[in-house]
Amino acid sequence: MLNVRKSNERGAASFGWLKSRHTFSFGHYYDPKHMGFGPLRVINEDNVAPGRGFDSHGHRNMEIISYVLDGALEHKDSMGNGSVLRYGDVQRMSAGSGVVHSEYNHSKTEGVHFLQIWIEPNVQGGDPGYEEKHFDVASKTGRLRLIASPDGREGSVSLRQDAEIYATILNGGDPLTHLLRAGRQAYVHVVRGSVTVNGVALSGGDALKVSEEAQVVLADAVDTEVLVFDLPQ
């Protein structure tokens, strides 16, 4: 079963300093048909103005992944972590029993563009945790690069959930195939460019829910970057 989520159908928020598109219900945007997909709960595409950002705020029981697309994202948290993330950096923060953090555009002159992804954990509570890794363009080009997994294998960040996230950069070339095991489903989010997924044409910001299928096939890519979420049903 294939279900398309078009970019222009996502929820929208604009606060001057922040322009955001919400794949699933979030904040003031509520749509009972789009509350998440398996444990995947949030994909927010955020554009933050220079020098602005999210003041310190708290989270519990959520795996929070930041995937930077352009610019520099500054992070600070109550665990004592502080860093500046740029394109290719992936940050995972396990909120666990509770954490406070802030996110700011590190630049005073350029915007920052990133995806904020929330995945519900399969355990409640526990100590908060933090991790970040860099995945360069070469490591994602023409292949599905594992960037997040339950066991942190292949140099990915680790998640408290039986979920995997793959990233790829494609421009022509042979199709890429990702096999889905029994009891699994996939969510494919197109970061930029155009691609067909299981024969469905998608462009930047579009997504596809893939359930009751044996595989995910990416083809006909033009200047494309894609995230593939392999999720439990």
Q: What is the pLDDT of residue 95?
A: 94
pLDDT at residue 131 in the model: 97
**CATH of range 2-232; options 3.10.20.30, 2.60.120.10, 1.10.1740.10, 2.40.50.140:** 2.60.120.10
Tens digit of pLDDT for each residue in 64-105? 999 999 999 999 988 988 999 999 999 999 999 999 988 989
Give the pairing type, strands 157-158 and 145-149: parallel
Q: What is the mean pLDDT of residues 171-199?
A: 97
pLDDT in tens, 120-170: 999 999 999 999 999 999 999 999 999 999 999 999 999 999 999 999 999
Q: How many CA atoms lie within 13 A of 126 on its CB side?
A: 15
Return left, alpha or beta for 220; rule: phi > 0 is left, psi -120 to 50 is alpha, else beta.
left
Amino acid 77: pLDDT? 84
What pLDDT score does 11 carry? 97
CB of 194 closer than 8 Å to CB of 204: yes
**Cα separation, 107 vs 200, whole angstroms:** 38
pTM: 0.96
Residue with tokens 């992070």: 75
Give the count of alpha carbons within 13 A of 220, CB side only: 10
For residue 213, what pLDDT band results from cuts at 50, 70 and 90?
Answer: very high
User: Could you state, in order of their start, the residue ranges of all structural domains in the chain?
Assistant: 2-232
Mean confidence (pLDDT) of the chain: 96
Give the model's pLDDT for residue 31: 95
Provide mean pLDDT across the span 197-214. Answer: 98
